[in-house]
Structure 1
């Protein structure tokens, strides 16, 4: 009810003015509680689950199951872990394969994972979750997954279900590192799973862009132009610099080492995974949560998220790309629910061939880049961050000459000026460095902003139709029901709270700062227009004087 009133109020104000005065929002009796919008007021009360209580078909599939998750410290891995612990009450145990990092052992890293606000709902609803989760030291980039003998034996004797999500997702990763983790990692996992005594299913999390050299991608394996064994042999005989110099010739038509190695990983599965109860799961561009455990949660700036954050903080003002193309984005909780249900189906049906499930949205609920950004602008204006450096102003273009001009006046010149002022005031200059990083990100994303892909996702749609009503409620992944308007309502607020780490208590001051930045923006824009008019008038006036 509060959300409907808030929406009607916003719509009424938008009819009269494109910019709603901040004071009107703050003083409105329909002003919405941010935590209510994010869903942090809607947690269920904790309750004891009896062992005799029968769950839904999907919940029963995980009864007494021991699950191994690789990539559990990553974005999707965290959501998967949270969902299994919260929604599968009879699950026996979850092992997270974690490597030591930054002077922290795996147990310390496990504790750090659960400090994330993502797990706030789990801790409230299932307060005794902690005895069902533990870490196992390992590394998917090493031989044998970096497992000790005792850890390997534990997994072989206990595990039933494996979710292999470990991967390096950096587009510009060195070819050796990408091959070791993304290709050798799945080979090692297949080798381990062949020894597991009671394996029900092995899920390999790939990407819909593993075949991005094709604009129409079906749920099937495609032949690759190179053999993964040849590439593995090559990286074992060359030094890092030589491989770096050879990378473009190695990856061929692929835009980066990430998509190239994920494609080779699927070749590994087709050639070495036969006979195992396994499947390939291909999500498209995974973005923030749609509904659960809270709305708008995310912990990285990959893909369109980086653009939204840059624009919302007043750092990014222009971008080079075709924003009229459809972007295939999918919320992470939709992805995880589909992954969980797919694992149950594969284990139950036991198909003769290794099936591929694609989780995408563009065929059912397509949205263009510019539409997505505009929706986020409309709703995000009400949740400015105290860390904003300038007011919202964004002019994307696919004209290289116009982009060069906009980049000069909107990024480079202001960057030099503000960094100089920072040095004069004794602060560290950071803006130009940020723009250098943004330009690097722009180059890596250019391929995906320009193109438009069609991903066939028939298996996911058919799977949804087989679920009963309770599983549909618990594990919603019907992409046909996605509303990008609903998603955008909480997206920027979620980025503010969960990613930028800007507490909601700063909202009043952030809104005051936002109004000051808006005033400054108008002044600068007015002065710029006057200056440009003067530049035009100067030669014209000289011509008039010469003629007269």
Structure 2
């Protein structure tokens, strides 16, 4: 029986999205673990002149076609199984609408701003945005046009930093939980929009890439031409809520403080958009205006207000996902992992069952410091700044509590004085 590197030997690979987060890790993994692979072709820009049917039928003698989707393309269901669900719309009709509708009308109908969630067209049904809607359509494009092809559909959940392959903590963007931890660790995010009990399902990018490679190998040796679907998700392996994630993040950043923080990290979570809006003004907007004013006065470029705007828009756009939980079944994914041969040590995934969540997010935070923020490994100065802000935060809290008690006390005294005056006037009027 051929191992995974033997399967890829002399095989030509065509990769779309090779410059993306998963794509980069996939290419690195294949080149490192499958050194005898044939040619790798990377599509960097779309090409015209051929329709979808012609482009797919050009792929003759194709050992396997792997399509990367997302588990959230079926987020209108609370339980997501590893099957292809009925389409939310006919992809042919949608393509026809898009190609024959004025670009400005499409732009108006596409919800891009935080306040346009009420403008989502009925065509999306119960799906929250066009991203998951088009991902859902794409599954059916692959299924319908690749009817006689060996197809694999991989549905990752939230893909984040590497666990350990090729090294721990590598990441190239601020998307997902790691970005939230960094923003809260710097004191930029003080309030988060979402439910504290929402389960955050994530998959490390190195695990996701291994699943892609294993699924391709398994499908190529299978005689079943029905599309294979794998939910690359944590499922019930390691469940973590939004509150627990932020608590771990605050604990991690207390032990490994971030540089250039604005205040001591602390995050309040609410799923009430009205409370979020006013709290955001108090804790995000006003400090951002003050900081940017100081930067402008010092002759530097203001940036915090722009960052807070992006955070606000992202929070509103992701509210549906931050306030709901799904049971993402991954039985087939776990079965797939068990099919790996003992000789394929580079593709073993036994550690998926016992990942230490705190240790992982500590590694992910440190990785973000190095690969995203380009901060030095020595945290001595950052710890001094953190200690300084800790004391400032504690003093401010004491001052606020004393001020509130003083206001309450004096308001009670004033109430007693007012009551006495009213009683005195009443007695005079009644002649008492």
User: TM-score scaled to structure 1, two decimals?
Assistant: 0.71
CA–CA distance in 2 between the matches of 1:363 and 1:143?
Answer: 44
Change (3 A) 1:547 1:144: same
Structure 2 counterpart of 1:69, from 15, 36, 46: 15
Residue number among 224, 229, 233 corresponding to 1:356 in the alignment: 229
Shift in Å, 1:477: 6.4
The reply on whether 1:444 has 2:317 as its aligned counterpart is yes
Of 367, 383, 387 in structure 2, the residue corresponding to residue 511 of structure 1 is 383
Could you tell me which of 395, 414, 419 is aligned with 1:542? 414
Deviation of 1:82 after TM superposition, in Å, equals 0.9
The Cα of 1:404 is off from its aligned counterpart by 4.1
Question: Which residue pairs with 1:406 in the alignment?
Answer: 279
2:405 aligned with 1:533: yes
Tell me if structure 1 keeps the 8 A contact 2:157–2:202: yes
Task: Provide the C-alpha distance between the structure 1 equivalents of 2:384 and 2:67, rounded to a whole number of angstroms.
Answer: 48
Match of 2:38 in 1: 92
SS in 2 for 1:282: strand
State the 1:307 CA deviation: 1.4
In the alignment, does 2:62 pair up with 1:199?
Answer: yes
User: In structure 1, what is the Cα distance between the partners aligned to 2:319 and 2:418?
Assistant: 49
1:227 pairs with 2:99? no
Q: Within 2, Cα distance between the matches of 1:269 and 1:510?
A: 50
With the length of structure 2 as denominator, give the TM-score of the two structures.
0.88
Distance 2:281 2:195 in 1: 20
2:250 corresponds in structure 1 to 377
CA contact (8 A) 1:254 1:260 kept: yes
Counterpart of 2:424? none
CA 1:519/1:196 → structure 2, altered by over 3 Å: closer, same or farther?
A: same
State the match for 2:3 in structure 1: 57
Q: Aligned-pair distance for 1:538?
A: 4.1
Would the aligned equivalents of 1:303 and 1:445 in 2 still touch at CA under 8 Å?
no
Q: Could you say what the CA RMSD is over the residues aligned between the two structures, in angstroms?
A: 2.2
Contact 1:56/1:470, CA 8 A, preserved across alignment: no
Following superposition, the deviation at residue 226 of structure 1 comes to 1.8
Secondary structure of the structure 1 residue equivalent to 2:230: strand
What is residue 315 of structure 1 aligned with on the other side? 188
Larger-gyration structure (1/2) = 2
Matches within 5 A, 1:387-406: 387-400=260-273, 402-406=275-279
Q: Which runs of 5+ in 2 are unaligned?
A: 111-119, 421-432
Give 3-state SS (helix, strand or coil) of 1:357's partner: strand
The answer for the alignment partner of 1:117 in structure 2 is none
**Residue of structure 1 in register with 2:354 after alignment:** 481
1:292 corresponds to which of 143, 150, 165: 165
1:520 aligns with 2:383: no
What is the rounded CA distance, in whole Å, between the counterparts of 2:351 and 2:32 in structure 1?
Answer: 20
1:327/1:362 contact within 8 Å kept: no
Q: Distance in 1 between matches of 2:97 and 2:272?
A: 40
Structure 1 spans left out of the alignment, 5+ residues: 1-54, 99-138, 146-186
CA distance in 2, matches of 1:489, 1:264: 37
| Alpha-carbon shift at residue 197 of structure 1 (Å) | 4.0
**Which whole-Å CA distance do the structure 2 matches of 1:144 and 1:333 have between them?**
36
Partner SS state of residue 87, structure 2: coil
Deviation at 1:405, TM superposition (A): 4.5
Between 1 and 2, higher relative CO (CA 8 Å, sep ≥ 6) is seen in: 2
User: Could you list the per-position Cα deviations for residues 162-184 of structure 1 after superposition, in whole angstroms to 9, with x for gaps in the alignment?
Assistant: xxxxxxxxxxxxxxxxxxxxxxx
Distance of 2:127 and 2:347 partners within structure 1:
38
1:386 maps to 259
Quick check: 1:426 aligned with 2:372? no
Instruction: Give 2:326's match in structure 1, choosing from 453, 464, 478.
Output: 453
Q: CA deviation at 1:232?
A: 0.8
Q: CA deviation at 1:387?
A: 2.7
**Structure 1 position 80, deviation (Å):** 0.6
Say how many residue pairs are matched. Answer: 410
Deviations 1:466-524, CA, capped at 9 Å, x for gaps: 2222325534266323331331231211111112221324x222222222222222233
Partner SS for 2:166: coil
* 1:468 is the counterpart of 2:341: yes
Structure 1 residue 395, shift from structure 2 partner: 1.3
How far apart in 1 are the matches of 2:408 and 2:183? 32
Stretch of structure 1 that moved more, 57-66 or 527-536: 527-536
C-alpha distance in structure 1 between counterparts of 2:350 and 2:20, whole Å: 21
The 1:144/1:485 distance shift into structure 2, 3 A limit, reads farther
